[in-house]
């Protein structure tokens, strides 16, 4: 029987969930997989003595170096999140000959190449299933389940908070602010939800997926165009629904002709597409694989046990791993990366939904369409949602495929018209 002696760093929501699973399913895992999972030491700056006591013969510390320097520990589970000191913990564990299991999307997305090289040279493993989609096995699927496939595109609903907010806005006809407060009340959003609603959480997860699916290490800050959902209104969701569409915050990677588009933004998709049915805190990734074809992975993307399940599975997989010493790490070989070039967002071409608040006067529509036409943007449909001589009314347009830079330029000119009462809202559309 293979014994994994674990140092668990971080006793927050996920860390406590992992500890509970290891304790409650210890005998089951021994019998089914022949793996003995044993927590030797836990580390947190503020650990609960009664909880630690409930785990049995476990030592508690506030100094993670006690775990890194313990020769009796062969696996470090890092669950504190963020860049530092998480990066130093992972590097220290690998340097000291210990395997690593982490849920840290920020570290893997920003330092994955460095860490994979270190793991490769030290003959140790890094497992990070929970970094994307919590316990849904997207990492395992990419690296093992459908290994050998090439991926030309991936589309992910990878942030449960945003998906919940958009779902509530559309289903219950509530405002963005109301939906955020509801998400916070239910524990789906942090007190400060900025990293979720501005798209950065999704960008980190997209970087991890692109590393694994397309073999390209990308910079979250410099390479991924990121736009959040704060400008989306309940009216946008209503208008989209009337057109047979819905709005999702999508993490998108598309590969073509030696270039790769990497972007995170609200996206209109058909209500008939499987991703449209992914609601609430559920997450999903849609993979365009060759030769397999389209693959959809769906599951809960947040919550104590959903995330703990992924870490727990990583520990079991590490315990039954029979790979050779030079193959134990997960991820693309850092020395064999596809020479893909990042496609500038300005050159990306999509269809657009545009909502304008305009004064209902003769000639307004012709001036707006004239500006769009001069910028090479063709209109597919135009709908005025109300008629009022007293105040601004919504004007909703769908464009044919247009270049991002052209649309931005046109909207800047349209915003300057005296008949336009508010900043234009533009949402990209994907035909999946």
- Before 291, cis peptide (omega within 30)? yes
Q: What does each C-alpha distance from 233 to 16, 167, 355 come to in angstroms?
A: 37, 12, 10
Is 205 marked active-site? yes
3-state SS, the chain, equals CEEEEEEEECCCHHHHHHHHHHHHCHHHHHHHHCEEEEEEEEECCCCCHHHHHHCCCCEEECCCHHHHCCCCCCEEEECCCCCCCHHHHHHHHHHCCCEEEECCHHHHHHHHHHHHHHHHHHCCCEECHHHCCCCCCHHHHHHHHCCCCEEEEEEEECCHHHHHHHHHHHHHCCCHHHHHHHHHHCCCCCCCCHHHHCCHHHHHHHHHHHHHHHCCCCCHHHHCEECCCCCCCHHHHHHHHHCCEEEEEEEEEEEECCEEEEEEEEEEEECCCHHHHCCCCEEEEEEEEECCEEEEEEEECCCHHHHHHHHHHHHHHHHHCCCCHHHCCCCCCCCCCCCCEECCHHHCEEEEEEEEEEECCCCHHHHHHHHHHHCCCCEEEEEECCCCCCCEEEEEEEECCEEHHHHHHHHHHHHCCCCECCCCEEEEECCC
Q: What does each C-alpha distance from 29 to 272, 300, 315 come to in angstroms?
A: 41, 23, 10
Strands 349-359 and 392-399: antiparallel
CA-nearest of 130, 165, 132, 430 to 279 is 165
Q: What does each C-alpha distance from 39 to 1, 22, 58, 100, 361 come to in angstroms?
A: 16, 8, 7, 14, 71
Q: Sort 50 into a burial class: Cβ within 10 Å, 0-12 / 13-18 / 19+.
A: exposed
**Paired tokens of 33:** 């997989």
Selecting among 140, 205, 234, 343, the annotated active-site residue is 205
- Which active-site residues does the annotation give? 205
């Amino acid at each position: 029987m293979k014994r994994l002696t674990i140092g668990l760093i971080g006793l927050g929501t996920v860390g406590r969930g992992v500890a509970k699973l290891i304790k409650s399913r210890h005998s089951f895992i021994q019998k089914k997989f022949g793996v003995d999972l044993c927590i030797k030491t836990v580390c947190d700056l503020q650990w609960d003595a009664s909880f630690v006591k409930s785990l049995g013969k476990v030592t508690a510390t506030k100094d993670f170096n006690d775990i890194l320097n313990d020769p009796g520990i062969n696996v470090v589970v890092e669950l504190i999140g963020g860049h530092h000191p998480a990066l130093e913990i992972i590097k220290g564990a690998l340097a000291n000959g210990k395997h690593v299991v982490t849920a840290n999307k920020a570290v893997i997305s920003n330092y994955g190449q460095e860490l994979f090289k270190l793991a490769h040279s030290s003959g140790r493993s890094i497992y990070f299933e929970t970094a994307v989609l919590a316990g849904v096995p997207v990492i395992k699927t990419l690296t093992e389940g459908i290994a050998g496939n090439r991926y030309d595109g991936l589309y992910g609903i990878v942030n449960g908070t945003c998906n919940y907010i958009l779902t509530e806005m559309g289903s219950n006809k509530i405002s963005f602010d109301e939906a955020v407060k509801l998400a916070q009340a239910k524990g789906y959003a942090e007190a400060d939800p900025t990293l979720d609603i501005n798209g950065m959480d999704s960008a980190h997860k997209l970087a991890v997926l692109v590393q694994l699916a397309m073999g390209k290490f990308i910079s979250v800050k410099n390479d991924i165009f990121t736009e959040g959902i704060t400008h989306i209104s309940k009216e946008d969701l209503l208008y989209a629904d009337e057109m047979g569409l819905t709005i999702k915050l999508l993490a998108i990677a598309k590969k073509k002709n030696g270039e790769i588009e990497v972007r995170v933004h609200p996206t209109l998709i058909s209500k008939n597409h499987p991703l449209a049915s992914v609601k609430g805190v559920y997450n999903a990734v849609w993979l365009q694989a060759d030769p397999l074809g389209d693959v959809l992975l769906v599951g809960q993307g947040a919550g104590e046990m959903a995330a703990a399940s992924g870490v727990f599975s990583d520990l079991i997989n590490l315990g039954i791993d029979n790979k050779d010493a030079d193959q134990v790490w997960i991820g693309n070989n850092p020395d064999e990366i596809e020479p893909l070039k990042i496609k500038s967002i300005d050159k990306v071409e999509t269809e657009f939904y545009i909502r304008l608040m305009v004064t209902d006067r003769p000639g307004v529509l012709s001036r707006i369409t004239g500006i769009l036409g001069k910028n090479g943007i063709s209109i597919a449909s135009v709908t005025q949602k109300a008629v009022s001589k007293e105040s601004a009314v919504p004007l909703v347009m769908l464009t044919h495929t247009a270049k991002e830079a052209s649309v931005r330029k046109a909207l800047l000119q349209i915003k300057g018209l005296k008949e336009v009462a508010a900043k234009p809202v533009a949402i990209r559309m994907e035909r999946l």
